Amino acid sequence: MEVKLKRVNKAFHFEASNADNLKVNIDANPAIGGEGKGVRPMELVLMGLAGCASIDLGLILKKQRQELLDYEVLVSSTRNEDDAKAFKTINLHFTLYGDLDADKVEKAIELTLTKYCSVSLSLNKDIKVTYTYTIK
């Protein structure tokens, strides 16, 4: 796997692309000179976690013969106060739509975050990752 990052301007606007030439704009916080022209890197981490967890959760629920009609994830976090401002906590709130068995959903989310989601497994173990969910 490879991605490419190129500078777009003399501030902190970058464009990242993958092997399929799909692009993401990245920018810094305006407090340090960003211009609001892209997603901040730490937001990308949260988006990557939500995307990875969503793919794995969908696959697990399908194997469990659970009919997932729709799906949303809200990811919230807190960060440390040191210079790096690394994540301290991350919570994923899954909202799942369909006639789903709560026990199967619980097991599927647990497996997703602890065994299958490569982004979750790549996070520093000092980060407290939690989840909640609602079935509608």
Structure confidence at residue 133 (pLDDT)? 98
Ranges for all domains in the chain classified under CATH 3.30.300.20: 41-135
- For 17-36, give the secondary structure using H, E and C: EECCCCEEEECCCHHHCCCC
Q: What is the pLDDT of residue 128?
A: 97
Per-residue confidence (pLDDT) for residue 19, from 0 to 100: 97
Paired strand residues for 73: 94
Question: CB burial class (10 A; 0-12, 13-18, 19+) of residue 11?
Answer: middle
Question: Can you list the residues of the chain whose pLDDT is less than 70?
Answer: none
What CATH number is given for 41-135 in this structure? 3.30.300.20
Mean pLDDT, the chain, whole residue set? 97
